[in-house]
Chain A
C-alpha cells in the first residue's frame, strides 16, 4: 500500500499555471496537478488529441511547466515507447516518460500501441484519464461509457452495452504496477505516482475523471460525484503489484468496515442518466456488486 504524505510534504512547485482552457469543474486537472508534482520536472508528457490538448493550450502559449509532445490519436503509447528508447539510447534514463490519454485514446483507438508497449515492458507510465465518453469531440459514446448513459451518439436511446473492464485487459499483460485512482482523491493519486516512479517497466493508471460537461451535473459537484463512484464501489481504488491486488484508501476501509453505498443517488445526480431504464439501473447495481465481490475475493477479504 502507498504511504501517506502530509499536505505540507507536497512539492510547492506547480506545473499547471492558473488559467487554462478546460471546462469549469473538470476532474482531470485536479489529478494532473498531483501527478506532475509527484513526477517532477524531468518528465516528458505524451498527449494525443484529447481534452488534455486543450489544457496544454494553443501555440505559442501553454500553462504547463513540463515538456510535452503531442502525438497522433492512436500513437500515445508508441510515442512514450519511442521516448523511453530514445532516452536510453542517449543515456538520459533519469527522465520519466508519462503518457496521458483519455478513454477514447486508450480503451478504443490507442489500445493496440498500449498493449504492445505493456507486453514489451517499455519503461513508461501510462495514464488513462477516463471521463467515459469522447468528451473532447463533444461527448460521443466510447467503450468506457456505462450502460444507461446518453451521449451525443446515443442521443435518444441510452447506451446498451456495459463499460469495458480495462483494468482486466491491462492485468493480462503481467505488469509490475497498475492502479486505479480518482481525481476526487488527489492525495491517493500523489502517493501512487510517487510509488510508481520508483518502479521500472510499464506502469498503468486508470484515472476516473468526472466530467460535468458530458455527464450533465453542476460543475461544483465534480469531487462529490467522483467520491460517490468510489463509495458505491462503481470505481474502487486499488493497486496491483506483480499480480498482487490490494485495495487502497476509501475502498480498503469499505472492505474492512462496510458502508458501501447504493448507486441510486449517483445516477440521480447526472443528466446523462435521464433516460436510464429501471432494468438498466438494477443491471448496473448487480454488475457493480458482482465486480466488487470478485475484487474483495482477490484482495483476500
Chain B
C-alpha cells in the first residue's frame, strides 16, 4: 500500500531499489551515497529484500559484479559518486557495450583534486560518453520514482542507466516522499528477463575480440565488426527517448506522477527568459523565476531530467523564439564551457528559427551555495546580453 514518509535522497534511492526487487546489489561506500548500500544491506540481512549483497572492495569491482550478475540474469544495482564513479570508468563502458540494464544512482559530488565531499555534477557529466542513459532528479520523490522508471526503460532498451541526484542537497535532505505499494510496482515492473540465457548445451563467448570489418560466421551469417556493435548502441540510444517517455507516461498513469516529459517546465510557456539547469538547482531556479516575474520579467525554468539520450528536439521547441537563456551548470568541460551549453547551442545550428542568446554560468562547484540572488543576477546578465545582441563567448563563474 502507498504511504508517505519523510526521506533523504539516499533513502529514497534505496526504497526505489527495494521496490524494484533488485536481485544483486554490489556497492562500495562513498560520501554522500553510502546510506544507499547501508540501507539495502540491512534490508537483505533482515529478509525484507531477497537479494545477494556483495560487499565489494572497490567501485571498479562493484560494477564488475553488476555486469556479471546482469549477464547471469539477475537484476543488478549499485550506487556511487565522485571519485568512485571515476574509478568505475572502464567498467561503465563495459556495461554499456555489453548492453546490460544495470541501474545506478549517482549522488553527485565534486571530483578531486583537491578533495571535496560536497555537491556538483562533474562526476556524472564526465561519464557522459560511456553509453549510459543519464537522468537527473530535482527532488527525493523523483529519486525513488526514477529508479523504478530507469529499470523498466533500461530493460526494454538493454542500456544501463544512471539516476543522478545532488549530493547533500538531496542525498542528505529530508523531504516528503510517497512510497508506492509493492503490488503496484510489480504490475509496472515485471521480473527481469535477460536477453541471453546461459545454456551449457549452447556455449557462447561473450564480448570477445571483434574485428574492424564484418565477417561471416561458420554458417555464413555476416556478423558485425566493432563499429557495427558501437553503431547499434548509438542507434538504440537515438531511439531511446520515445521508450523513456512511454515508460514515464505509464508510471504516471499508475502512480499519478508522470515522467513522460524529458524536461521539467516551470512558467515556461510565455517566458522570454529561461533558466536551463539540471538537478536540484532547477528547483532553486523556480524561486528566482518567481522573483523575476514580480519585477516584470517573463521568466521560466527548464530542467533537463533526461540528459542522455539528449532531448534536442524538445529543447529546441521549448527555447525557440525566446530572447535569452541562462544555462546554470555544476560542471564544465575544461578549456571550453559547460557541456549542456554547447549541446543546447547545437540544437539551434542550421535551424530556420533563431534560438535565444545563450549565456553559460558555472555555479555551485564543490558545494558552493547557489542563492536565488545569484540566479537573478545571472538572469539579468543574460537578458542584458540579449538586449545588446552580444552573445558572451565564455562561461561566467558565479561567485568566483
Contacts and interface: CB of A to CB of B under 8 A. Distances in A.
14 contacts: A59-B205, A60-B221, A62-B208, A64-B203, A64-B205, A68-B208, A69-B71, A78-B62, A79-B68, A81-B54, A81-B61, A82-B54, A82-B71, A90-B23
A90 B73 contact: yes
Interface stretch (B209-217, B305-313, B342-350): B209-217
Contact of B68 (A66, A81, A119): A81
Contacts of A43: 200
A151 to B, nearest CB: 24
Contact of A89 (B51, B62, B211): B51
B24 A85 contact: yes
Interface of B: 23-24, 26, 51-52, 54-58, 60-74, 76, 90-91, 94, 198-201, 203-211, 215, 217-218, 221, 223
B198 A56 contact: no
B67 to A, nearest CB: 6
Contact of B65 (A56, A67, A68, A78): A78
Contacts of B209: 53-54, 57-59
Contacts of A69: 68, 71, 206-207
Contact of A66 (B70, B74, B203, B221): B203
A300 B66 CA distance: 44
A113 interface: yes
A46 B218 CA distance: 24
A59 B223 contact: yes
Nearest first, the 4 closest Cβ-Cβ pairs linking A and B are A82-B68, A86-B72, A78-B64, A116-B57
B60 A85 contact: no
Given A41-B203, A44-B72, A68-B204, 7 more contacts: A59-B208, A59-B210, A70-B208, A78-B60, A82-B66, A116-B56, A119-B57
Given A41-B200, A58-B209, A59-B210, A86 B73 contact: yes
Interface in A47-87: 53-54, 56-62, 64-72, 74-75, 77-83, 85-87
A152 B58 CA distance: 32
A62 B202 CA distance: 12
A64 B74 CA distance: 25
B150 to A, nearest CB: 19
Contacts of A86: 23-24, 52, 68-74, 76
Nearest to B68: A82
A61 B63 CA distance: 28
A145 B29 CA distance: 35
A174 to B, nearest CB: 16
Interface of A: 41-44, 46, 53-54, 56-62, 64-72, 74-75, 77-83, 85-90, 92, 95, 112-113, 115-116, 119-120, 122
A78 B88 CA distance: 12
A56 B65 CA distance: 22
A60 B215 contact: yes
A67 B64 contact: no
Given A85-B69, A112-B57, A112-B61, A67 B203 contact: yes
B207 A113 contact: no
A114 to B, nearest CB: 10
A71 B74 contact: no
| Residue from the set A42, A46, A53, A116 with the largest chain B CB neighbour count within 10 Å | A116
Nearest to B204: A67
Contacts of A119: 57
A89 B76 CA distance: 10
| Residue from the set B68, B69, B70, B217 with the largest chain A CB neighbour count within 10 Å | B68
A274 to B, nearest CB: 33
A69 to B, nearest CB: 5
